[in-house]
Amino acid sequence: MEIKITKTTTPKEMPSEDKLGFGKVFTDHMFVMDYETGKGWYDARIVPFGNISLHPASTVLHYGAEIFEGLKAYRRLDGGVQLFRPMENVKRMNNSAERMCLPLIDEKDGLEILKTFVKLEERWVPKSFGTSLYLRPFMFGNDESLGVHAVKRATFMLIASPSGSYYAEGINPVKIMIESEDVRTVRGGTGYAKCGGNYAASTRAGEKASKMGYSQVLWLDGVERKYIEEVGAMNVMFKIDGEIVTPLLTGSILPGITRKSCIEVLKAKGYKVSERLLSVDELVEALESGKLEEAWGCGTAAVVSPIGKLAYGDKEYVVGDGKIGEVTQDLYDTLTGIQWGKLADPYGWIERI
């Protein structure tokens, strides 16, 4: 594909690496391309980062036709830059697009856009271990009319934000509340798609949990309000009596690339891993009998996030000894080792820029 590049004439200065935070600072450029039925994708371009202009009737503003992805560019110890399983993001974006009646992108083009953009913004990939250049591809429906139907026009964009280490203050286990009122999504709905609407619908429960002193909620399924699904915007895993259990992808769960990678690493290390239904009753029983040895969330932002305490109803339980567990730590070391190029990559997950 042809990508037209217009470079900025006023490059910005990158803030110091210990002050980056998450998603607040953006690089010099952004990628944009447009779509129209009959014409396909056109005008692939990299332009200076800036505001965009939308028609007030633009579909995304009224009917929420929006999907996104999240991945990182990592600085290796030897100075090189690399991506972690980027094709998985491209494929997932197409699955999300299919669900939301947005146009698909050619997979090869998707990867080329990511690589071309990261190459151009290379100086924005911070250097310290744990820091990264966070990449945010997104797409929205952009018909300029209020009719409700599959869109005829869409826009795909990619922006990037240098981000600080998620664990600048060390890996501290979090307190999680099991949510029994709000649900994130239902089977048949949009749970498996990475779409903005899922986030809008989850915000209220997250805010409630935060007011009560918890960092996130553990979601139950929307049909029976019984089976564990995810934790906040991360997938979730448990070690129960030696077995590693993660919820089966039933359609209402986002198929995380970190989840998939954790499963593959754990199996390679000889652990018994089960993707199955896990009821909240089974989880509470494991907590009460002391069989819940470890619990953690997993996703691109944190890699893994150990769960130290779980609240259900008016009871609060400590998971294991309340500290980061052995398996959680091992996963963190293995995945971050591969991502930041400290460890060899026996899986073929790395894509060098």
C-beta of 241: minimal distance to ligand PLP in Å?
Answer: 25
C-beta of 2: minimal distance to ligand PLP in Å?
Answer: 29
Question: Candidates 54-62, 105-113, 229-237, 238-246 — which segment interacts with ligand PLP by CB under 6 A?
Answer: 229-237
Site string for ligand PLP, 113-152 (x = CB under 6 A): ----------------------------------------
Q: What tokens appear for 262 in the block? A: 């954790």
234 near ligand PLP, judged by CB under 6 A = yes
Residue 167 to residue 260: CA distance in whole angstroms: 22
341 near ligand PLP, judged by CB under 6 A = no
Q: What is the 3-state secondary structure (H, E, C) of 111-171?
A: HHHHHHHHHHCHHHCCCCCCCEEEEEEEEEECCECCCCCCCCEEEEEEEEEEECCCCCCCC
**Is the Cβ–Cβ distance between 207 and 201 less than 8 Å?**
no
Per DSSP, what are the bridge partners of residue 217? Answer: 177
Contacts of ligand PLP in 286-315 (CB under 6 A)? 299-300
Q: Say which residue the tokens 């599959």 belong to.
A: 150
Q: Is 106 exposed, middle or buried (0-12, 13-18, 19+ CB in 10 A)?
A: middle
66 near ligand PLP, judged by CB under 6 A = no
Contacts of ligand PLP in 173-202 (CB under 6 A)? 194
Question: Candidates 26-34, 94-102, 252-260, 342-350 — which segment interacts with ligand PLP by CB under 6 A?
Answer: 252-260
Residue 128 to residue 134: CA distance in whole angstroms: 14
Residue 209 to residue 312: CA distance in whole angstroms: 12
Q: SS3 of 256, please?
A: coil
230 near ligand PLP, judged by CB under 6 A = yes
Site string for ligand PLP, 254-293 (x = CB under 6 A): x-xxxx----------------------------------
C-beta of 209: minimal distance to ligand PLP in Å?
Answer: 15
Provide the binding-site residues for ligand PLP, judged by CB under 6 A: 70, 194, 230, 233-235, 254, 256-259, 299-300
